[in-house]
Structure 1
Amino acid sequence: MRALLLIDLQEDFLNPPPLAEQREDLVRAVQGWIDWARDNDVPVIEVRTVLPRDKSTWALNMREDDQPVVLEGTEGIERLRELEVDPHLSIEKRRDDAFHGTDLLDRLHNLDVDEIVLAGVVTEACIAMTAATAYAHDLKVSIAEGAVTSYDEKRHTAALKWLEEQYRQQVVTPDDLT
């Protein structure tokens, strides 16, 4: 069974430039994937980063720069207001990798999911880390065309190339999956 994983589609990530300029196109593409999931009885799992204010789980670069995002209790942790989705599951994470320190793998197994389609931000960080760990857990991974992006086009392209060459994880369209 497949599941659609929505990664970090949150206000803090899509408000600053240059992702703010990509927001409308990204939301349109992600909504198309959400609609595809609904039409094909594919569970949607929303994964959001939520960090405590006390720095205990901040990534090294956030601590070094003292520049956190997605702090608990702020509007920045909220799902993008334009998205219309009622996820089957919601998971909070503290690091780039959606599997790290969460029960995502157990929840996928409980749903008999053996294949995931990833959508969200950012390609070379949270998407790539989650995709690599999924591979390590013998999950087939596809990347939702148009529904992943980055602050940097070169890094985005390089990450997608790496995922395809290293793990055979391809960018797909909904038609590829029917």
Structure 2
Amino acid sequence: MIAVLVIDMQNAYFEDPALGRHRDELVRACNALMSAARRRNARVLLVKTEHERDKSTWTLNMLDDNQGFIFRGSEQAAFVPGLITSDLPQLVKTRDSAFLGTDLLWRLRNWEASTIVLAGVSTHNCVAQTAADAFGHNFRVVYAAEAIASEDQASADALLSILSREYRQEKLSLAQIEDLLDRRLKQSEVAM
């Protein structure tokens, strides 16, 4: 089974001009990926970051700077306009990795997922950290090429190169991911 994780497609991240100029194309790509997955009975999960104002969920750099970010219920925490969110499960995280301090592992195990497709932002932070932890839990990872972005492309490219080489994680186009979804769907039909 394949699960698609769409990470941090929230207003706060697109305040950065480097990401902001790619927002609309990224939303279209994420929507296309989620629609393709749902048509083939693959699982889709929206992952978002939220923090509490009382500093209880803040990261070390937030605490050091005494500067909070993306507070629960704020406009910053809302999903970007146009992103398909209705009827999709959501997971809230407070760290870069979607695995750390969440029930993501149990959700993936309940879905009998063996491969996860990652989309969203930022490639060099939250996407990469989730991918590294997925490897640690023996999940295969695929990056949706058109549906990931970073405000630091050089770091994103370097990290994806390392993760691809060391962890055998692939970066595939949406068309290639649709082919992968089709193959997995046929395999599950044959197994029944």
TM range (shorter): over 0.9
Query: Following the alignment from structure 2 to structure 1, what is the Cα–Cα distance between the partners of residues 94 and 80?
Result: 19
Q: How many Å apart are 1:69 and its aligned residue? A: 2.1
User: Does residue 77 of the first structure (1) align with residue 86 of the second (2)?
Assistant: no
Aligned residue in 1 for 2:100? 100
Paired AA for residue 97 in structure 1:
S
Task: Give the Cα–Cα distance (whole angstroms) in 1 for the partners of residues 73 and 38 of structure 2.
Answer: 30
Root mean square deviation of aligned Cα: 1.3
Correspondence for 1:61:
61
Tell me which amino acid in the other structure corresponds to 2:25. Answer: D
The number of aligned residues is 178
Gaps of 5+ in 2: 183-192
Contact 1:48/1:93 (<8 A) preserved: yes
Q: Paired residue for 2:149? A: 149
State the one-letter code of the partner of 1:117: V
Equivalent-residue separation in structure 1 for 2:55 and 2:106 (angstroms): 27
- Offset at residue 175 of structure 1 (A): 3.3
Find the residue that maps to 1:118 and give its secondary structure. Answer: strand
CA offsets 1:141-176 (integer angstroms, 9 cap, x no match): 100111111111111211211110111111112332
Deviation of the 1:46 alpha carbon? 0.8
Residue in 1 aligned with 2:32? 32
Per-residue deviation at 1:86?
3.1
Change (3 A) 1:115 1:87: farther
Against the structure 1 CA distance between its residues 174 and 21, is the aligned structure 2 distance closer, same or farther, given a 3 Å change threshold?
Answer: closer
Question: What is the one-letter code of the residue matched to 1:164?
Answer: S
The aligned amino acid for 1:70 is I
Matched to 1:131, the amino acid is A
Structure-2 separation of matches of 1:153 and 1:88: 29
Q: Could you tell me whether the CA contact under 8 Å between 2:146 and 2:174 is conserved in 1? A: no
Q: Compare 103-112 and 66-75 and name the one that shifted more.
A: 66-75
Q: Look up the equivalent residue of 1:121 and give its one-letter code.
A: V
**Cα deviation, residue 62, structure 1:** 1.6
Q: More deviation in 6-15 or 66-75? A: 66-75
**2:124–2:152 CA contact under 8 A, matched in 1:** no
Give deviations 1:26-49, integer Å, cap 9, x for gaps.
112111111211221111101111
Whether the 8 Å contact between 1:116 and 1:142 is mirrored in structure 2 is: yes
Shift of 1:66: 2.8
**Aligned residue type for 2:142:** S
Q: Distance in 2 between the 1:121 and 1:66 partners? A: 24
Q: Which moved more, 1:65-74 or 1:44-53?
A: 65-74
In the alignment, residue 120 of structure 2 is paired with which amino acid? G
2:187 matched to which residue of 1? none
In our comparison, the structure showing a higher alpha carbon Rg is 2
Kindly, what percent of the aligned residue pairs are identical?
40
